[in-house]
Amino acid sequence: MVQTLVDQLGRRLTLAVPPRRIVSLCPSTTETLFALGAGDRVVGRTTYCRHPKEAIDTLPSIGGTKTVDEQRLRALKPDLILSVREENDEQQIDALSHDLPILILDPVDVASALNGIRLIGAALGREQDADELAEAIASAFRTLPRLDGYRAAYLIWRKPFMAAGAGTYINDVMAHLGLENAAPKTDRYPAVDAQALAANPPHFLFAASEPFPFADKHLPELQRLAPTARIVLVDGEMFGWHGVRMLKAARYFEQHVPLWNSALEQTSGKEDGR
């Protein structure tokens, strides 16, 4: 038995129902597969997949998200491969798609992330579980505490400093918190310096734990980058991971947003959000 699905890039894909040998090429989708009760069908993952830890450690790796080892991947004989447009190498995925069943997700905002969960559920034959998870996340995001009236820049990289800009999932998460994105609107992930941020000075400068692992030792240079901003070290998974991790993100924001709000009453420094 087979089914035909349309992925988030508009590609039609014919799949076996239900798929029995699934490879996930993105950490957040790997975690979501387990959350939807399909962990026993996952046969491969990337080196960056880390949740749920007790299960991940027993699964073979097919390389990095952008450096998939084709030989290892094919050896697993997958009947479904889950890819995320922004996380995987476009040329490699295009080449593999000629003869492998790849379902591509494209979560550019909260709404498309929720649709991605439902799409995974449809591929797995677990539509009800996926709908329930998506609705639980949507409900949690509707009642998030907010930081209305404040601007923030969210750093993902150092040397050069790069921020999450318009059109990214992180940007929409910030919008759900009531924040205006202070990053330049020149690119989805623009390079930033002190001059660029001074043009629209942020109240908060969020420095993420991934992909670059910002830490206490970077605080002095971060304060120089945005002298008037409150520097906040944040958990990158909470802002950047879609799928089931969004439930934990909602709890994280419920706990930390009030702290960040009250921290603005203090002088420059940091409120560690991890």
Report pLDDT digits (tens) over 214-232: 999 999 999 999 999 999 9
Which residue is associated with the tokens 């080196």?
A: 47
- pLDDT given for residue 268 in this prediction: 44
In this structure, are 19 and 42 located in the same domain? yes
CB-CB contact of 238 with 169 (8 Å): no
CATH of the domain at 58: 3.40.50.1980
In this structure, are 113 and 191 located in the same domain? no
165 pLDDT more than 50: yes
- pLDDT given for residue 274 in this prediction: 55
140 pLDDT more than 50: yes
Domain boundary (83, 115, 141) is at 141
**DSSP codes, 12-45:** EEEEESS--SEEESSHHHHHHHHHTT-GGGEEEB
- pLDDT given for residue 16 in this prediction: 84
What's the angle, vertex CA 244, arms to CA 89 and CA 109, rounded to 5?
A: 60
Domain boundary (115, 141, 167) is at 141
Across the range 231-256, mean pLDDT stands at 98
In this structure, are 11 and 106 located in the same domain? yes
Look at the chain and report how many structural domains it folds into: 2
Q: Is residue 70 part of a domain?
A: yes
Cα 256 to the chain's mean position, in Å? Answer: 19
In this structure, are 205 and 82 located in the same domain? no
Strands of the chain, DSSP E: 2-6, 12-16, 22-24, 42-44, 80-84, 102-105, 151-157, 162-163, 180-181, 204-208, 230-234
272 pLDDT more than 60: no
Q: Is residue 228 part of a domain?
A: yes
- pLDDT given for residue 263 in this prediction: 84
Domain boundary (121, 141, 161) is at 141
Domain that holds residue 173: 151-263
Q: CB neighbours of 111 closer than 8 A, spacing ≥ 6?
A: none
Across the range 140-156, mean pLDDT stands at 97
Q: At 269, is the pLDDT very low, low, confident or very high (cuts 50, 70, 90)?
A: very low
Cα dist. 220→160, 244, 270 in Å?
A: 16, 34, 10
- pLDDT given for residue 237 in this prediction: 98
Across the range 3-16, mean pLDDT stands at 95
* Average predicted confidence (pLDDT) for the chain: 95
- pLDDT given for residue 270 in this prediction: 47
Q: Is residue 167 part of a domain?
A: yes
Q: Is residue 270 part of a domain?
A: no
Cα dist. 202→34, 126, 205, 257 in Å?
A: 38, 43, 6, 16
265 pLDDT more than 80: no
Across the range 254-260, mean pLDDT stands at 96
In this structure, are 172 and 224 located in the same domain? yes
Q: Which residues of 82-106 are buried (b: 16+ CB within 10 A; e: fewer)?
A: bbbbbbbbeebbeebbeebbbbbbb
Across the range 49-72, mean pLDDT stands at 96
Q: Which of 108, 181, 190 is nearest to 150 (CA)?
A: 181
pLDDT tens by residue, 64-122:
999 999 999 999 999 999 999 999 999 999 999 999 999 999 999 999 999 999 999 99
In this structure, are 187 and 155 located in the same domain? yes
Q: At 2, is the pLDDT very low, low, confident or very high (cuts 50, 70, 90)?
A: confident
- pLDDT given for residue 267 in this prediction: 54
Across the range 257-269, mean pLDDT stands at 78
In this structure, are 43 and 157 located in the same domain? no
d(CA 18, CA 122): 10
Q: Is residue 269 part of a domain?
A: no
- pLDDT given for residue 45 in this prediction: 98
d(CA 82, CA 123): 10
Q: CB neighbours of 40 closer than 8 A, spacing ≥ 6?
A: none
Which residue is associated with the tokens 């993105």?
A: 26
Report percent pLDDT > 90 for the chain: 94
12 pLDDT more than 80: yes
199 pLDDT more than 80: yes
What's the angle, vertex CA 31, arms to CA 271 and CA 14, rounded to 5?
A: 140
